[in-house]
Structure formats: structure tokens, C-alpha cells
């Protein structure tokens, strides 16, 4: 799939750190690491009936990036569009206690948080690269 775009549907949980990290990592992949290859899909719009989001996910591979094992992004894709090509569950990467911790303000993020974003972004990139290599 050398020329395919890949949708990344990330957690929208704002009450926990995992959701914030998911969105930041997805944005980093889209804007810095896999420019032009990755498209971010909006989970709230997706769930609310956004046809453009849902149709994209029917046509192109989707990676869900879920903050915790509730897997809201994956479940929404399966319900409204079909197959999820791959999944990143951040609580499995960083630990449940970390991702379920109370959200910190974006202006209060530390170097530790940014390193977590890097770990997640690297995992997303591995999955993107594997899909492209198919």
C-alpha cells in the first residue's frame, strides 16, 4: 500500500491524561513524522454521524489510538465503518495508573509527558509503516 493514506482515530477522553497523550501523539505523527501519510479523524464527530469521517474509514485503513482499555475509538470504528487495521492502547504501553491519572493542563505538561508522547508516536509510526509495507 505504498500510496495509501492512513486514518488515525484517537481517544477524545479529556478527563484523563491518556486522552491528551493520544491526541498529542497523533498530531505529532501527522504533522512531523509521517507528513502526508496520516490523516487524523475526529472521534466526537465520528460518533455524532460525521459522514466524511466514517466514509474515510470505510475506504482507507484506520489505526485506533485508545487511552485505556475501554477502546472507544476502536469500538466506534467497528460500529460505524468496519475493520480497524491496527490499535494502540496507551495503557498497555505506559501503564494504567499513568493514563488514568487526572488530566494536567496543557501548559503544565512536563518533559516526562512529552517523552510519553514520543513513545506513543513511535508506536503509531511502527503501525503506519507496517500497513504501508503490505
Q: Is 88 exposed, middle or buried (0-12, 13-18, 19+ CB in 10 A)?
A: buried
d(CA 100, CA 11): 12
Select the more confidently predicted residue: 13 or 68.
Answer: 68
Contacts of residue 91, Cβ cutoff 8 Å, sequence gap at least 6: 18, 67, 68, 69, 98, 99, 100
CA distances to 4, 43, 47, 62 from 116, in Å? 28, 21, 27, 22
Q: What is the mean pLDDT of residues 94-111?
A: 84
**What are 109-132's pLDDT values in tens digits?**
899 999 999 999 999 999 999 999
Element spanning 122, H or E: helix 111-133
Helix (H, G, I), strand (E, B) or coil at 79: helix
Q: Where are the domains of the chain?
A: 6-129
C-alpha cell at 89: 492502547
Confidence band for 46, pLDDT divided at 50, 70 and 90: confident
What is the pTM for the complete model shown?
Answer: 0.92
Q: Considering only CA atoms, which of 125, 78, 126, 94 is closest in space to residue 21? A: 94
CA angle 85, 88, 10 (to 5 degrees): 85
Amino acid at each position: 500500500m505504498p500510496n495509501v493514506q492512513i486514518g488515525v482515530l484517537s481517544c477524545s477522553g479529556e478527563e484523563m491524561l491518556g486522552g491528551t497523550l493520544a491526541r498529542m501523539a497523533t498530531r505529532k505523527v501527522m504533522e512531523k513524522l509521517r507528513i502526508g501519510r496520516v490523516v487524523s479523524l475526529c472521534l466526537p464527530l465520528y460518533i455524532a454521524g460525521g459522514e466524511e469521517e466514517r466514509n474515510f474509514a470505510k475506504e482507507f485503513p484506520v489505526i485506533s489510538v485508545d487511552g485505556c482499555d475501554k477502546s472507544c475509538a476502536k469500538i466506534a470504528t467497528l460500529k460505524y465503518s468496519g475493520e480497524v487495521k491496527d490499535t494502540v492502547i496507551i495503557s498497555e504501553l505506559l501503564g494504567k495508573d499513568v493514563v488514568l491519572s487526572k488530566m494536567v493542563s496543557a501548559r503544565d505538561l512536563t518533559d516526562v509527558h512529552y517523552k510519553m508522547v514520543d513513545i506513543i508516536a513511535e508506536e503509531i509510526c511502527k503501525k503506519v509503516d507496517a500497513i504501508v509495507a503490505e
